[in-house]
Amino acid sequence: MTQVIEKQSGTAFRIKKGQKLKVTDPEGGQVSDMVLFNAEDKREKISSGKTLDFEESILITKGDFLWSNRSNKMMKILEDTNGRNDFLLAPCSPETFKIMYNNNEYHPSCFENLYTSLAQYGIEPDDIPTAFNIFMNVQFEPDGKLSVEPPLSKAGDHVLFEAQMDLIVGLTACSAEDSNGGSFKPIHYEIMD
């Protein structure tokens, strides 16, 4: 059954080892930040540094695993119809909009949407790691310069994950103008046995 994450919001849920999670961009051009915690011990969580090390790539896609800070596999990517995701940049936060965009007004953010959704599991703001940013299109130059470009995802593109352990998942429909070309859109997801 397809669940909807409304624009600029987030959710959290459990999935069991062996279950699959399908994350879909229903309209195209939207980003979904995902964080993972071991459901049995929340101090084990998704790690960008471990994943890039073990997969030997900046660009994580079909066939790759998402690894934890304890060097365990958390998810396997079974399908990736778009093929571009980011695992370099932290979730957008109130400070992102302040520091990067000089916006001092309240702005929704993936960081807030993750920690408020995950609070029910006893996860606090300081526990939120760098997220796996599904569909996010961060380009890098040979000199290392990074730029956040509009996602390349088309309507209906999806990434299919298989849980490698029992997990708590935090998932958003991104709140940052830069990440989704200025258009705020929902994200769909489905949990399958």
Which CB sits closer to its own copies, 24 or 138? 138
Alpha carbons 96 and 111: distance in angstroms, whole number: 10
Of 58, 119, 155, 192, the residue at the interface with its own copies (CB under 8 A) is 58
Residue 108 contacts its own copies per CB under 8 A: no
Residue nearer to its own copies on the CB measure, 6 or 53: 53
Could you give the CA distance from residue 130 to residue 52 in angstroms, rounded to a whole number? 12
| Distance between CA atoms of residues 104 and 129, nearest Å | 24
State the number of binding residues for its own copies (CB under 8 A): 37
Q: Note the maximum CA span of the chain.
A: 45
The secondary structure of 82-142 as a DSSP string is S---B-SSPPP-HHHHHHHH---S----HHHHHHHHHGGGT--GGG----EEET-EEEE-T
Identity of the residue numbered 88: L
Segment contacting its own copies (CB under 8 A): 13-21, 69-77, 167-175, 184-192? 69-77
**Stretch binding its own copies (CB under 8 A), from 6-14, 47-55, 149-157, 162-170:** 47-55
Residues numbered 144 to 173 that lie near its own copies (CB under 8 A) are 144-147
Least distance from C-beta 24 to its own copies, angstroms?
Answer: 23
CA–chain centroid gap for 187, Å, is 11
Determine, following the binding rule CB under 8 A, whether residue 185 of this chain makes contact with its own copies. Answer: no
Residues forming contacts to its own copies in the complex (CB under 8 A) are: 43-44, 47-50, 52-54, 56-59, 69-71, 88-91, 93, 95-96, 99-100, 126, 128-131, 140, 142-147
